[in-house]
């Protein structure tokens, strides 16, 4: 029997979280069991109890509201690693799995692990529930004209697994062999970049990442406008947003660029801050 730990984090999205858990429960995986580890990060809307009603044996961990995505999933991951599961599934609480999605992801893992490497992460791609457009999944590396390393989202092939360089954390299947090489999400990251960093570190340690064929679920895009496009929002507020957990925190962004952006990492680190002041201060003055 293959043992799978499903790892989720939530904060005050009881309807979204419980729907995601219901879709997870509906997955029928032959010769496998799924245990849920949910970090409820200070919710006040009854999310933890609602999930317990759906999955009585779920492991519920309670945060103080300041864990965000990386902190929450890292805690769930740590608890599950201590119990030595065969596979670990990252699942966002705003993501709904398609019927048979996990079976297809395991089929993908078996195929690529047999042909390539046992330490292989499988990424499930998501589409927008209304438009059907690709939203999250694998990312591939490319070089910008400046010579700075970057990555772009890569839609799935409908029939063939695709190799990639890193991934969003919406639907990700991670075998124990990967965890034994690189461990948990890095504590340097609070909300953004932690999933991308995990994938990039995995590849650097000899692991492989493949995008499963077709779509594995739905998730609306959560891309937010850049803080410098703030309209009437005060400049000081937009600056704090830029440096906040969902923007480019100075330390976390520094760690990410130093590790992964190549020899020109310092320019990549400076770029969002320079761009903020250029678009927030210099351009408005030119328009006067």
User: Is the per-residue pLDDT at 287 higher than 60?
Assistant: no
Q: What value does the mean pLDDT of the chain take?
A: 93
pLDDT per residue as tens digits for the range 23-51: 999 999 999 999 999 999 999 999 999 99
pLDDT tens track for 192-251:
999 999 999 999 999 999 999 999 999 999 876 665 556 678 888 889 989 998 899 999
Could you write out the three-class secondary structure of the chain?
CEEEEEEEEECCCHHHHHHHHHHHHCCCCCCEEEEEEEEEECCCCCHHHHHHHHCCCCEEEEECCCCHHHHHHHHHHHHHHCCCCCEEEEECCCCEECCCHHHHHHHHHHHHHHHCCCCEEEEEEEECCCCCCEEECEEEEEECCCCCEEEEEECCCCCCCEECCEECCCEEEEEHHHHHHHCCCCCCCCCCCHHHHHHHHHHHCCCEEEEEEEEEEECCCCCCCCCCCCCCCCHHHHHHHHHCCCCCCHHHHHHHHHHHCHHHHHHHHHHHHHHHHHHHHHHHHHCC
Specify the pLDDT at position 230. Answer: 60
Minimal CA–CA distance to 90: which of 10, 185, 176, 172? Answer: 172
By residue count, the chain amounts to 288
pTM for this predicted structure: 0.93
Cα torsion for 124, 129, 130, 131, to the nearest 10°?
A: 0
Whether the per-residue pLDDT at 283 is higher than 90: the answer is no
Q: Could you report the per-residue pLDDT of 116-136, keeping only the tens digit for each? A: 788 999 999 999 999 999 999
Domains and CATH numbers, the chain: 2-218 (3.90.550.60), 235-282 (no CATH)
Instruction: Provide the terminal-to-terminal Cα distance of the chain, rounded to the nearest Å.
Output: 68
Q: What does the alpha-carbon distance between residue 70 and residue 191 come to, in Å, rounded to a whole number? A: 5
Q: For the chain, what percent of residues have pLDDT higher than 90?
A: 81
Give the integer Cα–Cα distance in Å for 237 and 30. Answer: 51
Contact yes or no for 91/9 (Cβ under 8 A): no
């Amino acid at each position: 029997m293959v043992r799978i730990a499903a790892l989720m984090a939530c904060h005050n999205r009881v309807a979204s979280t419980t729907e995601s858990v219901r879709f997870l429960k509906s997955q029928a995986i032959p010769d496998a069991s799924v245990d849920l580890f949910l970090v409820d990060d200070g919710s006040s809307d009854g999310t933890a109890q609602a999930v317990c009603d759906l999955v009585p044996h779920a492991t519920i961990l309670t945060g103080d509201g300041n864990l965000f995505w990386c902190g929450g999933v890292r805690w769930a991951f740590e608890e599950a690693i201590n119990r030595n599961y065969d596979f670990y599934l990252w699942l966002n609480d705003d993501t709904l799995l398609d019927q048979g999605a996990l079976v297809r992801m395991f089929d993908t893992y078996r195929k690529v692990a047999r042909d390539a490497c046992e330490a292989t992460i499988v990424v499930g791609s998501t589409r927008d529930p209304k438009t059907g457009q690709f939203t999250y999944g694998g990312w591939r590396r490319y070089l910008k004209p400046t010579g700075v390393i970057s990555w772009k989202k890569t839609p799935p092939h409908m029939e063939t697994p695709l190799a990639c360089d890193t991934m969003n954390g919406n639907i990700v299947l991670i075998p124990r062999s990967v965890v034994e090489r690189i461990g948990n999400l890095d504590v340097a990251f609070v909300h953004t970049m932690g999933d991308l960093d995990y994938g990039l570190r995995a590849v650097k340690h000899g692991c492989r990442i493949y995008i499963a064929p077709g779509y594995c679920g739905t998730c609306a895009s959560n891309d937010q406008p850049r803080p410098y496009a703030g309209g009437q929002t005060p400049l000081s507020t937009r600056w704090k947003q830029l440096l906040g957990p969902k923007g480019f925190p100075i330390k976390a962004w520094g760690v990410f660029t130093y590790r992964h952006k190549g020899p020109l990492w310092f320019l990549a680190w400076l770029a969002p801050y320079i761009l903020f002041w250029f678009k927030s201060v210099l351009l408005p003055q030119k328009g006067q």
